[in-house]
């Protein structure tokens, strides 16, 4: 773990110079740590010549997880520049807005993504296409550059390095700022926490335009002098083959990635690999246990975001299902988002299940110092995050009597049923126990009179051909921690759950669909059927056209048709 502690990412990149062990792997390519540092130095020198004098030292990267991505991240650190990770699922004016909002004067991309730029007005933006002869010719004169020779200005811990867009469900994405000092510290912290070794290989299969892959996977590899192996895009079917080929020991995940891996056919050699640890969010306790039982690899659930406003540290003795306690120097609390008053301690049954969710769940805040560095050119969002001198995460948690914190869902996953506030993630964790489910998403649909009703989207496991309504009802009745307000009123059976580019559930698509119809889903994610528990009835039955018409009439009678 030597050389893990450094004040800047630039220092970590410079320390690769002269290290001729393999440091970066891709299908058909292997670069030494020294070659990575040399390639970064060349790109840094090119960048210094391309960025106009007086312009913000920012450039965008619109790439899959190709070797050019970590090379340009390293180049940005050396040059004192900031990388804006550009999401390739964005289109048209929204894509142009992301590039221009972050004041990018250079955009690094590849031929596969050039169609996304057709017709976009990007004044003053120089586009570099990495897999072309023109790019190789442009870069060639800088081949002899060494780390630290070319900079756009002073490089220090406070130098901006990342401008990574948050994946909020409403409004235009905000670009969270991450400095060199914060990223270097995050990498060093994970090196110490997980015991990263120099012979480790970090497998990066989550998209590098998102903070998870860079902050939780690339940065600790760089800080710990471990190797990196890339997958252009996440593939559940290719995961184990990659892990074996690269002899990977560590990976990160977000969203539904773990569920996709569990949905692959079981093999006799599922445990034949070097993978020691997976670190991420939103796998859930049930699927984390299934993953370890099948693959022999421990998953550690963490909590974090590109903003970095609150840190939760997993320590020995952390209960199953908990993320950990507040990190050193943090004063974390779970409060009522309206009043700021602390919520009641969680009461857990002997099985670790929450029994007082209505009183215990609230928003996580940091009342102490916060490493949050703001959003690029968005003072209103900065103020909303730091109101009253606290950092408001926007995420739902509960805390037990020993101070251990448990994730209960994103802030926009709240439901209000019969005046009771519920967290979608809590219901999802319960429904995930159903053996027929490959994936679960819970979201709100409007109640005809007031508040919300619970809708669950279910993707069935391979080999399960149809929804067993009676079996599902029996399963729900047996779940002691499923409160009466949590029981889904509607169940939507899908071929697979819609997800975003970062493998998180595409809740915007689900909510926009309401009771179904298929039009708002991306291609391939149409609904098969919707079932519902009719008031006064027993169990679930299919939602018919006549039922939909009657529901619409009820909404109109209460003046809530605009909620649909």
Q: Average pLDDT by consecutive 10-residue portion of the chain (564 residues)? A: 73 98 96 98 98 97 98 98 94 93 98 96 98 98 98 97 76 90 96 97 96 96 98 96 98 87 94 97 84 97 85 87 85 94 94 84 92 95 95 93 89 74 85 94 84 90 92 92 87 88 80 56 49 84 86 75 55
Q: Which long-range contacts (CB under 8 A, 24 or more apart) does 132-138 make?
A: 138/46
H helical segments located in 256-378 = 257-262, 285-295, 357-360
Give Cα 434 distance to the centre of its chain.
Answer: 25
* pLDDT in the model for residue 26: 96
User: The tokens 């997993």 sit on which residue?
Assistant: 314
CA distances from 45 to 39, 49, 51 (A): 10, 7, 10
Two tokens at 31? 């670069």
- Would you call 284 helix, strand, or coil by DSSP? coil
Give Cα 512 distance to the centre of its chain.
Answer: 21
Q: Which of 96, 70, 97 minimizes the C-alpha distance to 83? A: 70
User: The tokens 């299919």 sit on which residue?
Assistant: 542
Q: Pairing between strand 405-410 and 414-417? A: unpaired
> Distance (Å, rounded) from C-alpha 326 to C-alpha 314?
9
* pLDDT in the model for residue 518: 41
Can you state the angle between helices 33-50 and 68-79, rounded to 10 degrees? 60
Do 304 and 311 form a contact (C-beta atoms < 8 A)? Answer: yes
> Distance (Å, rounded) from C-alpha 487 to C-alpha 492?
14
Give Cα 412 distance to the centre of its chain.
Answer: 15
Radius of gyration of the chain (CA): 24
Q: What are phi and psi of 445, to 5 degrees?
A: -120, 145
List strands edge to edge, sheet with 362-366: 332-335, 362-366, 391-399, 405-410
Do 407 and 395 form a contact (C-beta atoms < 8 A)? Answer: yes
Do 363 and 280 form a contact (C-beta atoms < 8 A)? Answer: no
Question: pTM of the full predicted structure?
Answer: 0.82
> Tell me, what DSSP letter sits at residue 215?
I
CA atoms within 13 A on the CB side of 19: 21
Two tokens at 117? 């730029």
């Amino acid at each position: 773990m030597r050389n893990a502690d450094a004040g800047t990412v630039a220092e970590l990149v410079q320390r690769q110079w002269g290290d001729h062990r393999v440091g970066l792997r891709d299908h058909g390519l292997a670069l030494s740590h020294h070659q990575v540092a040399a390639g970064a130095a060349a790109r840094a020198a090119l960048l210094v010549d391309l960025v106009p004098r007086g312009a913000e030292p920012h450039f965008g990267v619109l790439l899959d997880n190709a070797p050019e991505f970590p090379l340009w991240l390293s180049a940005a650190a050396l040059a004192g520049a900031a990388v804006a990770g550009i999401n390739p699922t964005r289109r048209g004016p929204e894509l142009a807005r992301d590039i221009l909002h972050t004041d990018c004067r250079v955009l690094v991309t590849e031929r596969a993504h050039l169609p996304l730029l057709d017709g976009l007005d990007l004044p003053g933006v120089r586009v570099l296409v990495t897999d072309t002869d023109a790019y190789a010719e442009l870069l060639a004169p800088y081949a002899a550059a060494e780390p630290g020779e070319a900079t756009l200005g002073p490089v220090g811990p406070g130098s901006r390095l990342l401008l990574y867009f948050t994946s909020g469900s409403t409004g235009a994405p905000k670009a969270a700022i991450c400095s060199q000092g914060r990223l270097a510290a995050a990498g060093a912290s994970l090196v110490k926490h997980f015991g990263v070794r120099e012979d480790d290989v970090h497998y990066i299969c989550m998209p590098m335009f998102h903070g998870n892959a860079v902050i939780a996977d690339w940065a600790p590899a760089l800080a710990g002098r471990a190797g990196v192996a890339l997958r252009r895009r996440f593939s559940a079917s290719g995961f184990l083959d990659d892990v074996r080929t690269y002899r990977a020991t560590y990976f990160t995940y977000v969203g539904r990635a773990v569920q996709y891996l569990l949905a692959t056919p079981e093999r006799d050699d599922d445990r034949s690999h070097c993978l020691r640890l997976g670190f991420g969010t939103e796998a859930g306790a049930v699927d984390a246990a299934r993953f370890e039982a099948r693959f022999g690899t421990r998953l550690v659930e963490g909590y974090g975001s590109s903003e970095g406003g609150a840190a939760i540290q997993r320590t020995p003795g952390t209960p199953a299902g908990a993320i950990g306690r507040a990190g050193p120097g943090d004063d974390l609390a779970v409060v009522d988002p309206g009043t700021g008053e602390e919520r009641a301690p969680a009461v857990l049954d002997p099985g670790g299940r929450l029994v007082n969710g209505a009183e215990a769940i609230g928003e996580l805040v940091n009342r102490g110092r916060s490493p949050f560095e703001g959003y690029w050119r968005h003072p209103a969002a900065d103020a909303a995050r730091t109101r009253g001198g606290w950092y408001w995460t926007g995420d739902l948690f509960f805390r037990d009597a020993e101070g251990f914190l448990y994730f209960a869902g994103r802030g926009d996953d709240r439901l209000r049923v019969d005046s009771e506030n519920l967290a979608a993630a809590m219901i999802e964790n319960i429904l995930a126990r159903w053996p027929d489910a490959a994936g679960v998403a819970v979201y709100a649909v409007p109640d005809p009179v007031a508040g919300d009703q619970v809708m669950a989207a279910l993707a069935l496991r391979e080999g399960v051909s149809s929804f067993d309504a009676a079996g599902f009802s029996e399963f729900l009745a047996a779940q002691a921690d499923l409160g009466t307000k949590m029981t889904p009123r509607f169940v939507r059976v899908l071929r697979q759950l819609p997800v975003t580019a970062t493998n998180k559930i595409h809740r915007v698509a689900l909510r926009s669909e309401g009771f179904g119809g298929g039009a708002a889903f991306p291609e391939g994610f149409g609904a098969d059927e919707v079932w519902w528990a009719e008031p006064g009835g027993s169990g679930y039955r299919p939602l018919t056209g006549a039922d939909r018409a009657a529901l619409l009439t009820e909404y109109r009678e209460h003046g809530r048709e605009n909620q649909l």
